[in-house]
Chain A
């Protein structure tokens, strides 16, 4: 059954919010307002929006060094996310996490785990806690193609499979681990094929089509909720920007980038919406982003007196 118009509007709003958040953040970073570095999500919005739109507030996700989209999609407010990037005490992690550790347990998201593959083992514990308590909650682990070559990936997939943990492993294969093409580091073309090694389903999904992501995600989440165990979803996607802010993308051909940009998930969804509704969403998103920036700018810097708080409970 195709999603109703409210769902479609929600998906469009979510993807656009992530896109405009990221574009704005990039500009503010170049202006020198945001410290540190950024790993941005432009191009991959259909994955976060498609999957997180299916989750309940009490379901949990783990994320990566590229977490802005996941955080917004799971419910971290643009204000709290933006303030965190600015290093403000009003950020979702009180300024202690920063760009690579966005998250908030109140919305079912651990601080994003920026060690490649490490979220894959941690998520097994989240799934295990649901299983031991006998709840029907589900955990989703977002990770990249690069993580699939970590030992942690193997240990986690095997353990989750043998225990039938309620987890969906969502691989966002954006074709490059930093500058290294996946084809240079894997004899298998598809991460999804690795699922066979663990005796679980592995599916390839068009990660540039939010409706395709949603459809595959719904089945995987339902299976996990029903106690049938984990699924590996490989979403083929593409980051429209560099790996991090210092990346000039010299390892990619312009033609490849252009081809993927033609598949941009946001303009791809827009024609399905009524023109008026789409425009209303666009105005609303702009206002939300402006508000978030204003909130972050006007918040005080994280208080140095707090630097040693929260080391221990």
Chain B
């Protein structure tokens, strides 16, 4: 009998590091995977908008890292065309606000070519897009994932922690459908800790390979009194609110990260709502027509008679995102706002 090996210390990565590792692994595994975007492989450049691609040109050379002009329609259109021919592009835009520059390529082309061809064409592309308000104002601070969650043919993923970010990005690369992959700017690295409520944003990421399936929600905090569904930074604020409510009011929130908005893992959410009888949805996107409305509508269809209180949404108020910190704070859901909404549900 061999002596048991001493377990290596569990490795913790930031989301940025986890994404980089996922991309590198997929590029090593599959020659058809390549990167396309602005400022991604330029020597001495940015390594992508949030440095996620730093180090990749050194390993993979510039042949598979396609730096483009500032031409979002071309970034998305080229990704569509290459994907239709069997390549697996990972495209990105520096801010998700720029996705509106290539709505046609994403909504009219990527989402529909398969259907229009009677199933003969596949478009296996990934479009990475950073979301979130960071005092940059109305055109660099949106969270536009809801627009895309409305489009049949697309998949929409929102990642909030390093473990799921890595596993989901690898799944997205291997998926034969176009996947929009939304990441929050304040959650990439340790810098985000403070604005995320002081939580440690690193997560244990195993050395060995794993995948996280698209379309599966995770329960981040078990609870019995209220179901809270939240993504991105709002997830961490919901978790902080949950801790306060547990300590101050004895209210136990079950906090769920849906991870995928399209297709939504309704079963995990409805099972929780049937248990708790209360549902609060929290997102940084604006409230009207946001993805929370879809979750609320479907919850009403699926489990209205299990509800003991009205479904509530806590989201950014309906205004363009302001730049001033005091104004941004007034728009974006805060821990206090989430906490107070949940508290008022307890009648």
B118 touches A94 (CB 8 A): yes
In-complex Cβ contact of B80 among A101, A122, A159 (8 A) = A122
Q: How many residues of B contact A (CB 8 A)?
A: 44
Of B65-73, B142-150, B184-192, B224-232, the one with at least 4 CB within 8 A of chain A: B65-73
Contact with A along B43-75 (1 / 0, CB 8 A): 000000000000000000001101011010110
**For residue B63, which residues in chain A have a CB less than 8 angstroms away from its CB?**
132
- The DSSP consensus for interface residues of chain B is mixed
**For residue B117, which residues in chain A have a CB less than 8 angstroms away from its CB?**
93, 96-97, 101, 103-105, 110-111, 310
B32 to chain A, nearest CB (A): 8
**For residue B113, which residues in chain A have a CB less than 8 angstroms away from its CB?**
110-111
Contact with B along A128-163 (1 / 0, CB 8 A): 111011000000000000000001100110110011
**For residue A311, which residues in chain B have a CB less than 8 angstroms away from its CB?**
114-115, 152-153
Q: How many residues of A contact B (CB 8 A)?
A: 45
CA distance A155 to B68 in the complex (A): 10
Of A11-19, A24-32, A113-121, A283-291, the one with at least 4 CB within 8 A of chain B: A113-121
CA distance A95 to B113 in the complex (A): 13
B246 to chain A, nearest CB (A): 40
CA distance A92 to B119 in the complex (A): 10
B78 touches A97 (CB 8 A): no
B71 touches A129 (CB 8 A): no
Chain B, Cβ-Cβ closest to A120 = B77
A250 to chain B, nearest CB (A): 30
Q: Does B6 contact A (CB under 8 A)?
A: no
In-complex Cβ contact of B116 among A93, A127, A128, A151 (8 A) = A93
* Given A118-B109, A122-B109, A313-B176, A128:B86 Cβ within 8 A: no
Contact with A along B81-102 (1 / 0, CB 8 A): 1111111010000000000000
B144 to chain A, nearest CB (A): 20
Q: Does B315 contact A (CB under 8 A)?
A: no
* Given A125-B82, A159-B74, A310:B64 Cβ within 8 A: no
**For residue A118, which residues in chain B have a CB less than 8 angstroms away from its CB?**
77, 104-105, 108-109
B115 touches A159 (CB 8 A): no
Q: Does A124 contact B (CB under 8 A)?
A: yes
Q: What 5 A-B pairs have minimum CB-CB distances, sorted nearest first?
A: A125-B81, A121-B77, A94-B118, A313-B176, A310-B119
> Other CB < 8 Å A-B pairs besides A129-B85, A309-B119, 17 of them?
A94-B118, A96-B115, A97-B117, A104-B120, A105-B120, A105-B121, A110-B84, A110-B113, A115-B109, A118-B105, A121-B77, A121-B81, A124-B74, A128-B36, A128-B81, A128-B87, A311-B115
Q: List 18 A-B contacts (CB under 8 A).
A: A93-B116, A93-B120, A95-B118, A111-B117, A113-B108, A121-B74, A122-B84, A125-B79, A125-B89, A129-B86, A132-B82, A133-B87, A152-B73, A155-B71, A156-B73, A309-B119, A311-B152, A313-B176
A interface list, Cβ under 8 A from B: 60, 62, 91-97, 101, 103-106, 110-111, 113, 115, 118, 120-130, 132-133, 151-152, 155-156, 158-159, 162-163, 309-313
B interface list, Cβ under 8 A from A: 34, 36, 63-64, 66, 68-69, 71, 73-74, 76-87, 89, 104-105, 108-109, 113-122, 124, 152-153, 155, 175-177
